[in-house]
């Protein structure tokens, strides 16, 4: 039966998987459990002959830099340890006698000089690019490692491996979420990703004015017009995660003395999104206003439009009617409707709502 110290150490290892700042304390606990003057927790890159210390309480940054620059590419110890099966613990003297060590340049020129005369090592992780190591070092004057200490390191090794795998997966997911969020922030539109219950699962800063906390302490989307909000909720109630794209719902409303437009379209879930967005996501809402007009040059180039057609489309994207557009452009309503007819053809749309949704989707780049 495991003693309490070992159970606490295993618990600390898994806690560090989701809280990387805890790895140094895990290393110290391993050192106290195994016994030695120092401990080193590191990830190495065997292809590029480089080691990155997660924690070391004896090697300085200068010594680590010296190792990477002058020792790593000709380290005879590492060449031998690379043949050890990942997921095992071993002692330095399992592979080398004292005489053999003293004949190695890397040992005399580095290991012995920095006090790594003898050590117990857990080689706990390996993938295509990384190897994970935890070594507890002793000096020549210290007693040899015992079988009990070796056994403890053997017990800890698979837990270190699983925790490292979890930690790397979480790190990758966090990086993916960061990249996705940065992409949303680049868009000149308010973007909100919703569940069918109107729960916000993602948004950019431009959408913040339209968000509020619900009674359940969730963020929800609230348009500043009761009629528009009811249209939003009705549309969401008809959507399910994984719905096929439709023409979308276009909702116009007043916001800060200007006309704004909210386009609601189904969100198509994929395996790739699972790292940064819940699979419960069912809709994307794009909010556009007069202060967030799409670039006319982009509209002209993307759909091969004339200047007049691009200006008309830009106004349609903010919810303006044909009459309002005619007044703004000092032309007749008949002229505006002629432009709209051409716009429907050039965007391959069957309705103005479908056209607006398609243009905003194209510009957002999220599909």
CA 174 to chain centroid: 3
Q: What is the pLDDT of residue 315?
A: 84
With vertex at residue 109, the alpha carbon angle to CA 153 and CA 92, rounded to the nearest 5 degrees, is 20
Return d(Cα 227, Cα 252) in angstroms, integer: 10
* Token pair of 85 as six digits: 């099966």
- DSSP β-ladder status, 118-126 and 219-221: unpaired
Return d(Cα 71, Cα 270) in angstroms, integer: 46
Residue-wise pLDDT tens digits, 171-213:
877 777 777 777 778 777 788 999 888 999 889 888 999 999 9
Return d(Cα 356, Cα 239) in angstroms, integer: 19
To the question of domain 293-367 being in CATH 1.10.10.10, the answer is: yes
* Token pair of 68 as six digits: 């990477």
Task: Compute φ and ψ for 243, nearest 5 degrees.
Answer: -60, 150
Share of the chain above pLDDT 90, in %: 38
pTM for the predicted model, two decimal places: 0.57
Query: Residue 236: which H helix or E strand, with range?
Result: helix 226-237
Q: Per-domain residue ranges for the chain?
A: 4-175, 187-290, 293-367
4-175, CATH topology level:
Beta-Lactamase (3.30.450)
Q: 154-163, 199-208, 232-241: which has the minimum mean pLDDT?
A: 232-241
With vertex at residue 330, the alpha carbon angle to CA 326 and CA 336, rounded to the nearest 5 degrees, is 30
Instruction: Name the CATH superfamily for 187-290.
Output: PAS domain (3.30.450.20)
- pLDDT band (50, 70, 90) for residue 274: low
Q: Do domains 4-175 and 293-367 have the same CATH topology?
A: no
Residues 29-53, mean pLDDT to the nearest whole number: 90
Residue 1, pLDDT above cutoff 50 = no
Return d(Cα 330, Cα 182) in angstroms, integer: 40
Q: 33-37, 103-107, 152-156, 235-239: which has the minimum mean pLDDT?
A: 235-239
């Amino acid at each position: 039966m495991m003693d309490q110290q070992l159970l606490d150490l295993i618990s600390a290892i898994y806690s560090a998987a989701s809280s990387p700042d805890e790895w140094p304390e895990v290393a110290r606990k391993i050192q106290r459990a195994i016994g030695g003057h120092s401990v080193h927790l590191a990830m190495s890159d065997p292809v590029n002959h480089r080691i990155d210390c997660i924690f070391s309480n004896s090697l300085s940054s200068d010594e680590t830099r010296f190792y990477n620059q002058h020792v790593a590419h000709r380290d005879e110890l590492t060449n031998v340890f690379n043949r050890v099966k990942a997921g095992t613990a071993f002692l330095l003297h399992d592979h080398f006698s004292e005489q053999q060590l003293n004949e190695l340049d890397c040992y005399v020129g580095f290991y012995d000089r920095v006090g790594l005369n003898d050590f117990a090592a857990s080689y706990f992780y390996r993938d295509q690019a990384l190897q994970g190591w935890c070594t507890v070092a002793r000096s020549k004057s210290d007693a040899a490692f015992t079988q009990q200490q070796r056994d403890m390191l053997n017990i800890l090794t698979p837990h270190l491996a699983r925790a490292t795998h979890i930690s790397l997966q979480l790190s990758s997911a966090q990086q993916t979420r960061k990249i996705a969020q940065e992409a949303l922030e680049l868009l000149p539109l308010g973007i909100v990703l919703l569940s069918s219950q109107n729960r916000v699962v993602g948004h950019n800063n431009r959408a913040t004015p339209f968000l509020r906390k619900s009674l359940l302490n969730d963020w929800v989307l609230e348009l500043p017009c009761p009629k528009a909000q009811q249209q939003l909720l009705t549309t969401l109630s008809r959507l399910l995660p994984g719905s096929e794209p439709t023409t979308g719902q276009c909702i116009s409303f007043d916001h800060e003395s200007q006309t704004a437009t909210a386009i609601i379209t189904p969100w198509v879930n994929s395996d790739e999104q699972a790292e940064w967005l819940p699979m419960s996501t069912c809709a994307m809402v794009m909010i556009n206003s007069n202060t967030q007009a799409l670039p006319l040059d982009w509209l002209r180039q993307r759909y091969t439009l004339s200047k007049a057609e691009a200006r008309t489309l830009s106004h349609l994207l903010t919810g303006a009617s044909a009459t309002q557009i005619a007044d703004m452009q000092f032309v007749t309503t008949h002229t505006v409707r002629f432009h709209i007819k051409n716009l429907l053809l050039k965007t391959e749309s069957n309705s103005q709502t479908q056209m607006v949704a398609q243009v905003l989707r194209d510009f957002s780049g999220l599909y």
